Structure 1
Amino acid sequence: MDAYDLTGSLRDAGELAGCSHHTVKHYVERRAAGGALDRAAARPQLIDEYLPKVEEWVERSHGKVRADIAHEKLVALGYTGSERTTRRAVAQVKAAYRAGRVRVHRPWVAEPGMWLQYDYGDGPVVDGVKTVLFVAWLAWSRFRVVIPLRDKTMPSVFAALDQAFRRLGGVPTYVLTDNEKTVTVAHIAGIPVRNPQLVAFARHYSVTVHTCVPADPASKGGTESSVKISKADLVPKDTNLRGAYASFAELEAACVAFCEKVNTRPHRVTKRPPVAMLAEERARLHPVPTTPHTVAFGVTRQVPANTPMVTFESGQYSVPHTLLGQTVWVRTQGVGADEQVVVVHVGEDGPVEVARHRRATPGTPKIDDAHFPPQPEGPLERRPRPKNAAEAEFLDLGEGARLWLVEAAAAGTPRMRVKMTEALALAKLFDPVEVDWALGHAAVHGRFAEADLSSILDHHHGRGSRRPGGEHRALRASEDSSLTQGTSAWARLGAPVQASGTDEQVIA
């Protein structure tokens, strides 16, 4: 092309470029046509007359029909072309079908204090029970709140929403969620019918609850993405190397740590930490009511001042001892064998589930040991506590000394203080560890006489022969030897022996 622009002659340009002048003409005409000459000429194909039928199948299947199925149908209609041609035709028709039906998402610019979205995710298994992750997302600041729940019943959801409002420091104007039964009871002509209890809850907090279109998760993509991120970090998987949770409290602590991590780092879109943006958005939020909405939590019960037990329907159930003298709400959940009694306490941070028990029967209370503080020593669990220096020195020998003191006292052993002093004296002659072992041995076998302790020590200290390194080698019975004393000394009984100084024989 440079040669042609220089000479203006096809032949001269061909000579300079070392090619035929016909080749130069081809490139010159191609440049002049703007590349239109590169397009292949349209030729009639065997499938052209069948294209309307292919378009009909694509419409009926909403763009999902397979090319091999379409080819089989075309062959049945008399089509004689190849399957390759059919695949190309079906691909072109599908591309044209999708071109006019692509959902175009317009960026959502949220206003401060206007929208809160929440959704649920499958949580980890704790104590053999599958949990639920409640994930709330404040649209403008991108602040996230993740709360683990034991179920998705209405009281649990209301308690989680109250906690979310209190963590945010205010209530937004609108709340958007799915059409769960706790929110929408039915649809009439496409209009959702709200749950009356939810309406009362929303009226209490001065918030309006909206639901997205059924089966349309894209309408609340903020929480959908937050649920995915929360599950990837909190649910034990090979990708996060997180182990199983030992308790529900451990899962709650993990959720708090996760929220602190994601809310204090800069967001990908805003380039600012959500916690910093929440400080600005909080001025546009409505105040949280001082008293939470407690209608759905059950009936009230007063915890006694000295016994952390509440009575509900002829059964007694334990609650944490820190709630002594306070008011709790009790309700039942489930039916039959799965029925449970749930206890909720409303504190400064909102409603919190504090206990969950199986149904109790009259006279058989349901008690959780974790709800009670360490109990004082009873008559069966008394341990020695020294009252003076001598007793402390004796008990410092070890567990054997403590066991000896308990067992000797139970056996009514006389002169116990004298024997304790003798044990301390022996501890200065022998290794204190051996003395402690001997005291424990004496306690186990009930040997509390005067010389029993020294006898046990002598036997233990002198048994077995010493190895070259100075260590004791214990004697052990085997197939060839026994630890039983022999009878060779009995052979001298009745044998005559020579008396000393005389020739007189006596009978031994």
Structure 2
Amino acid sequence: MFDPFSQQGAGELNVLKRHLQSTVLTLLDRNTSQREIHRLTGVDRKTIRRYQALRAGAEANSPGEVTTGSVSADGQIPPPRPPAFGTSEATVTSSLARSACEAHRTWIEEQVRLKRNAQAIYQDLVDQFGFPSSYQSVKRFVRRLRHADPEQFDRLEFLPGEEAQVDYGEGAPTVDPKSGRYRRPRLFVMTLRYSRRSFRRVVWKSSQQVWAQLHEEAFRYFGGVPSYVVLDNLKEGVLKPDLYEPQLNPIYSAMLAHYAVVADPARVADPNRKGCVENAIQHTQGTALAGRRFETLEAQNEFLRHWEENWASKRIHGSTRRQVEAMFQEEKPHLRPLPVAPFRIFTEVVRTVCDDTTVRVDNSYYAARPAPIGSQVVVRIYTTTIEIRDRHTRALLRVHSRMAHPGSVVLPTSERPFNPSRQTAVLLASAERIGPQTRALCQQVFDTEGRPSRCGALSGWAGSTRRGWSSRPARTPSTTASTATSTCVRPSSGCSNRRSSRLE
């Protein structure tokens, strides 16, 4: 029998303490796997394999001992079969042990194809088949199956001008003008799938507006528009990921509609769908930007433009074995022409229609009819104009010029309601006692403004009449009318909290 403490055994093995040698041999006798022995004892698996090989050789050369396993014709136990070439340590197990999972190989392979993890497979093995072994044996068996049968991908071919892919990465360290320290900006890359020609730009911060603007710059850089764009599910582009009905960012959706481009968001956690732009980002980071620093963002963008035109576009692509620039010249005529007018960047907000049928935007008020009072509408804020749209259909309701002064009101006279108070009859009767011209003037004010409080002096006149207008010195009708006119037409802020008013 093999004696690990003999001089011959000690000369061939790493020197272990006696209790570790005994533990290793005992576990080997129990057909414990090398991984488990390493976990229990901390002994390196190479040392464990040498102990196992020497023990097996010693037992094979001992004619008087009987061991477990197949016996040859002369009574000797053959030496253990060496592992297959290229087998990793994780798959090297004892020659005397056979995985208990082999009896269920077909069923386990089917579960692996269904993307089930080892824990779920182990639980079903115990419940359905009374599996006697441990979870670790199932875990190792599943790992070997996955390594032996990796996922297969189809080779996709694209037509010229058919697809572009976009994504963000990290640029080279650049001096931040706010802090004066180096930090990495965001690297935007759009790659045409057919020719692999790319547009690259670094920005400090991304937003809905920046994301749309970078797309527009890329389209104009290529001189045309592809049929559709593949993007990741980042918030600048996709608000709610969905395989069939993804909800796009409204600004991004409007930009794509302006250029007649279709968005094709990749599935969640599926970077292989846009592997072309992923490789372009890695190529940019590893070749163009590795080890470089820039003082300004403009300097890095200028370097990226120079590198693309002089190096990246002139290279021979590894997959197609053709020059990128030559393929781009083939693809460029297939890109759809750019629209004459560029896309107007806007900011979109949701506002509630007030009780006077206006919405408040930047401390100014704009008419929102035909939107009902209390309903919510979408307001698109451009540089010089304001668009009010239906929240659900995005139908255009109103267009206004953007007011420069806070507190301005854009509400046509025809949309101002006639809303007399309960004292209208009393005030008009008082004006009648003053004179017919005063009565006619006040009636005109009521018909136009609709709110008697805009002419607050009338209440004062009515009070004077009740206190005894006849006791005061008589005035001619012309003098009375002139006084009433100068009083009623002065601006009043009692009815409205707005500073000024504009009629359309």
TM-score (norm. length: structure 1)? 0.42
TM-score (norm. length: structure 2)? 0.42
